[in-house]
Amino acid sequence: MLDLVHRPAVPQLDLSSARRLLVVRLDNIGDVVMTGPALRAIRASAPRAALTLLCSPAGRRAAALLPGVDDTIEARVAWQDVGGLRFDPERELALVRRLESGRFDAAFVFTSFSQSVFPPAFACYLAGIPVRVGQAADFGGSVLSHPVAPAPDGSHQVDRNLRLVEGLGIPAPDRRLAVRIEPGAAARASRLLARVGVAPDEPFVAIAPGASARARRYPAARYGLVAAELASALGWPIVVVGGDRDLEDAARILAAAPRARSLAGETSIPEWAAVIRAARLVVTSHSAPLHLADAVRTPVVCLFSGTDRESEWRPRDTPAVLLREPTACAPCRLFDCPIGLPCLDVEPAAVVEAGLSLLGHIPHGAKRSAAAIPPSSALEDSWTASAY
């Protein structure tokens, strides 16, 4: 049984005697990666506990990147459904029974600003988990045993995650993203790169065109122009990376840039991270590769759509340029754009220039339309292609 010490302002939680802990993060790959600093804080405070991650199918593929995760429970749940699940109460009840069988001492429920903590916390309540921690501003009765006041609006997702543990008196010694890439994954990534003509230690640019929401996808035809211009300017290989859903975009990029090569659909998530680590530069949309690049400290140019605020998701520990056009609808929080993606109407030349700037290859006399901002700099929601 955990030793709980309650204080009026900050509920303290002693994890030193915990044996089994559940972490809930039912989101995409990048969301799981950004939970890493909070997971490390929990692990440091509970050295004898086994840590299980309750995650989505996509999130499970990223779990291997996070040190300290001992096991995973994969689930698709009604409270995260955007229209793909059939009505099936038994599915949800089966999850409660699965959680009950885990005999967890405590559950940490991580959410983004727009998600309710109460459905997953109630599932944990029904599963008999005595300590249920989450961020909530509204009333939820005793569903949460330890409600933590939510992070301020616009907070970075990493800081929001850390707010959950720090609000319980659990220290967070390191706020940086970090991933674990096993030697086997790195070796397989090297073999894949060699197969498309990239020698060990040869500089190359990785282009990751995918994103979970169509409203975040920079047009593939423009990525193709970016790839062609970067190949011409640098003389380096351009490698397209992504999942199975990115194969069509990869083909369009290769059609516009015949010198580019593609590994889309051919890498696991750890291998994908290893390719990004080996690259000298990543060009991507607002998606998992943005956060993987931050975690492995590879410079990144991101076509950041107006769906979200940069302050919530930007890289903080690697040189980065985020480009978008200002629109009155940002942040729209939409999965699909009904007006043709005006926020991503960024010229390929501006993307190329941003990449060359990060690499220190600005052409002589070129006008700087974008520049890298150090991770510690203050950032505003009005970043654009012309005023980062």
3-class secondary structure for 297-333? CCCEEEECCCCCCHHHHCCCCCCEEEECCCCCCCCCC
Closest CA to 352 of 379, 373, 370: 370
Closest CA to 220 of 232, 228, 209: 209
Q: What is the mean pLDDT of the chain?
A: 89
Can you tell me the mean pLDDT for 252-262?
A: 94
Q: Is residue 374 pLDDT above 70, yes or no?
A: no
Can you tell me the mean pLDDT for 14-20?
A: 92
pTM of the model: 0.88
Confidence band, pLDDT 50/70/90 cuts, at residue 362: low
Q: Is residue 368 pLDDT above 70, yes or no?
A: no
Can you tell me the mean pLDDT for 266-294?
A: 96
Can you tell me the mean pLDDT for 104-114?
A: 93
pLDDT higher at 259 or 95: 95
Pairing of strands 131-135, 12-14: unpaired
Cis status of the peptide bond prior to 331, with omega within 30 of 0: yes
Q: Is residue 383 pLDDT above 60, yes or no?
A: no
Q: Is residue 104 pLDDT above 70, yes or no?
A: yes
Q: What is the pLDDT of residue 2?
A: 55
Confidence band, pLDDT 50/70/90 cuts, at residue 257: very high
CA torsion, points 232, 256, 344, 337, in degrees to nearest 10? -170
Q: What is the pLDDT of residue 114?
A: 81
27 phi/psi in degrees, rounded to 5: -140, -160
Confidence band, pLDDT 50/70/90 cuts, at residue 6: very low
Confidence band, pLDDT 50/70/90 cuts, at residue 81: confident
Q: Is residue 356 pLDDT above 70, yes or no?
A: yes
319 phi/psi in degrees, rounded to 5: -60, 135
pLDDT single digits (tens) 29-54: 999 999 999 999 999 999 999 999 99
Q: Is residue 366 pLDDT above 80, yes or no?
A: no
> Would you state the structure tokens that stand for residue 24, as one six-digit string?
């809930």
Torsion over CA: 53, 58, 61, 62 (sign): negative
pLDDT higher at 173 or 156: 156
Confidence band, pLDDT 50/70/90 cuts, at residue 361: confident
Q: What is the pLDDT of residue 82?
A: 77
Q: What is the pLDDT of residue 16?
A: 87
Percent of the chain residues past pLDDT 90, beyond the cut: 80
Q: What is the pLDDT of residue 178?
A: 94
Can you tell me the mean pLDDT for 192-204?
A: 96
